[in-house]
Structure 1
Amino acid sequence: MRAIGLILIISFCVTACDQKLSKEQRQELRDKMESREIKKISQDEIYKKALDEGRKVMKLVNSRTAVDSLEETCLCQITFHSSAENLEGKSKSVYEAYEYDPSGEDNIQKQEGELLIYSNPVIQSDSLKGVWFIEFQKKEIVKKL
């Protein structure tokens, strides 16, 4: 009995509203449905995309773009460290690895939880001057795939 009542209420609401969607609204609805579609993505694809995103952000940082505005547009957190003092966990071990071998390249590390950290060393005269760390939420990287 409840099911019949619910069906009657829903059909009444649908016929009473009688609103049609515009082409833009339909396209927007389709886009949202596609973005929510389940896709199988490998960890390797996620890491490659995070590495690409980190490199894009670093290009903007190197072009003297304001870090605060970059963080907002890229949905990431950007920090520069000239020593390992205030670092902990994987970030600290990555920094120490760059200190040991300054010829290291940029890379991606998975931090606890759903965090991916891109690191890029700043080398001058064969010595480490500091490391840029860019933290991405894994879900933001997956959305871009």
Structure 2
Amino acid sequence: MKVSDLMRTNLIKVRPQAHIGHVLIWYNGMTNTSRNTYVVDDKGGLLGVVTIFDFLYMIVPQPVITASLEGSVQGRDGLLRTLRRNMAAIADTEVGSIMDTRFPMARADDLFVTAHALIMERRANAVPVLDAKGLLVGEISRRMILGFLVQNL
């Protein structure tokens, strides 16, 4: 079974200049789409990956967590005010500045066990899938692999 037989093709693709605030708005209400945000060039070549974990870290950075735990930020309203200020501060940050350029990638013609090994090694939720020309064509996730295994074993 090849990666191309299991992969998802409904992906979030953005240019490096896209602002974090805009990308996060796209996430609102999206279902059955990619786990990662893929940063691509004008031809569809993969430049980097931004994960949901990356976005969460940007929105709720360690200083906010520490302040909340120490009691410096009190209550729901205080926390939301702090997070809104932080969101406003990062909204215009370009995704290209936070993308991971060394993210593992699978090839569409690889056996799915190759993607599985990458996912397990990096403890990633999903990895991008490239075609023979190096263009981003899909994503394969832990859930897709597990679903295939459960249905076929």
The structure carrying a bigger strand percent of its residues is 1
| Structure of greater relative contact order (alpha carbons < 8 Å, 6+ residues apart) | 2
TM-score scaled by length of structure 2: 0.29
The structure carrying a bigger helix percent of its residues is 1
Which is greater in Rg? 1
TM-score scaled by length of structure 1: 0.30
